[in-house]
Amino acid sequence: MQRTSLLAKIAPIALLAAVASAPSLAGDREHEPQGARKSASEKRTADGFDHGMKVVPHSAAPEAPGYGWRYFSDPATRRAVVISPQGDYYYSRGKGLRWVAAEQT
């Protein structure tokens, strides 16, 4: 895959992740009670399900960049996951997306 093609696919995802996380970054965290923010591991249940991650809805139509991609974020812990149509997982802790895994064949 050419570098520009990959960039064209990743750029809309990064933009969506930035837009989705903006409200959480704009909040006033100075007045939160001590210990109000839970870590990611504290939100995970015994079955491994992470209740902090929420689906980020989008309206990408077929043939549009981002169509078929799935987006999840947890504003409280400032992290996001993006899953490509091919099963590649990208993870972010607020500093851009990083590829972390691919679908196993």
Q: In what order do the strands lie in the sheet with 54-55?
A: 54-55, 70-74, 79-83, 89-92, 98-101
- AA letter at 79: R
Nearest to 104 by CA among 82, 87, 83: 87
Structure tokens at 72: 């999840």
- For residues 39 and 8, what is the distance between their CA atoms, to the nearest angstrom? 33
Helices (H), ranges, 27-82 = 40-43
Using pLDDT thresholds of 50, 70 and 90, give the confidence band for residue 97. Answer: confident
The region of weakest confidence among 20-34, 67-81, 86-100 is: 20-34
- For residues 34 and 32, what is the distance between their CA atoms, to the nearest angstrom? 6
pLDDT, one tens digit per residue, over 1-51 is: 566 665 566 666 765 665 555 555 554 455 555 555 555 555 566 776 677
- For residues 6 and 87, what is the distance between their CA atoms, to the nearest angstrom? 15
Mean pLDDT of the chain: 74
Can you give the residue ranges of every domain in the chain?
3-26+43-101
